[in-house]
Structure 1
Amino acid sequence: MITSDQREKLRGWFAGRLPDDLFEELAEVTVDREEITVIGRIPAPRLSEGASAAEREAAVEGRVQQFRERTRETRMSVAREAEHRFGRKVSWGVECAGERALFTHLAAPVMTRLRQPERQVLDTLVAGGVARSRSDALAWCVRLVQRHTDDWLGELRESLEHVRRVRDRGPDTESEEVHDDEE
């Protein structure tokens, strides 16, 4: 598990390494065992006051695409450096006018064993057209749980971080060897 100190150092490295004019703000840096995802805020397109929702959506989509193409070389250069330094793939995304868009990012395989009742849930989602495969159905279930339990998951992550800090303050068993002749 990644510690909060490691997350802060990672975020600091990207804040210091990214060109000042790349994003308006470095909005989020998330990390897991395989991937670092960097999300930056970019300026919203300027539209007339009476712009429709469709016009707004198209303008944001165009702004995101323009940013992605314009900054590709810079992002690739930073990603190569970060991947070498941190041993993880780097993915990118932006926030623009309240919308979030992720560019190419990893979809890591996760192996699991499911009993028949759990498989039946996945098969029902596939049969109902909610997902194309069991794998897609499982990913859909995870997103659903994530959406509805963000507070609980956040609390659990905080608890795990607390356990890690307490464990780090514990005695170092390697350095506290007791020798028979010292007693």
Structure 2
Amino acid sequence: MITKEALERVRGWFAGRLPEDWRAAPADITVDREEITVRLTIPDVDLPADTAEAEADEARAGRAKAFREETREQRMKIAQEAQHRYERKVSWGVSVGGREELWTHVSAPVMTRLRQPQRLVLDTLVEAGVARSRSEALAWCVRLVGQHEDEWLGELREAMGHVADVRRKGPAA
């Protein structure tokens, strides 16, 4: 797990490095062992109030695509600097009017051992067409838990951060 201080350092670096005109709000930065994900909030599309939802969503998709293309060179330069500094891949995403897009993010393999009851859950998801493989079914389950237990996971991460702080203040080995 990344320490609170390390996360603060990464967030601080990006806050100082990102161009001001890229964001309508502070960047949302997530860090794990393999990757730094930078989600930028850009201004929403200016549309009439009576614009259909599908039209507005497509306009936002277009805005996100344009932002991605127009900033590619500068984002890649910033990513290279961060990757060198923090030894992690950097992924980018954008939020525009509630629409979220994530580009070129890391898909890290994870090894796990499951007993038959857990394998049967995955196999049921595959047989039902919810997932194409056990791997995809497991990823689906993890996403579902993340969606429904977000508050609890946040509290758990915060508690783990406190434990890491106490360990760091303890006696040297």
Shift of residue 37, structure 1, vs aligned partner: 0.1
Shift of residue 126, structure 1, vs aligned partner: 0.6
SS in 2 for 1:154: helix
CA distance in 1, matches of 2:22, 2:56: 22
Shift of residue 24, structure 1, vs aligned partner: 2.3
Aligned to 2:163: 163
Aligned to 2:69: 69
Pairs aligned (count): 173
How does 1:28-177 map onto structure 2 within 5 Å? 28-173=28-173
SS in 2 for 1:95: strand
Shift of residue 167, structure 1, vs aligned partner: 1.3
Letter in 1 for 2:27: A
SS in 2 for 1:151: helix
CA distance in 1, matches of 2:90, 2:80: 8
Shift of residue 49, structure 1, vs aligned partner: 1.5
| Structure 1 gaps, min length 5 | 174-183
1:33-54: per-residue Cα shift (whole Å, max 9, x none)?
0000001110111111210011
1:65-122: per-residue Cα shift (whole Å, max 9, x none)?
1101110001001001111111000000011101211111011000001111111110
CA distance in 1, matches of 2:79, 2:24: 19
CA distance in 1, matches of 2:32, 2:135: 20
TM (norm. structure 1) is 0.91
Aligned to 1:180: none
CA distance in 2, matches of 1:25, 1:94: 11
| Structure 2 gaps, min length 5 | none
Structure showing greater Rg: 1
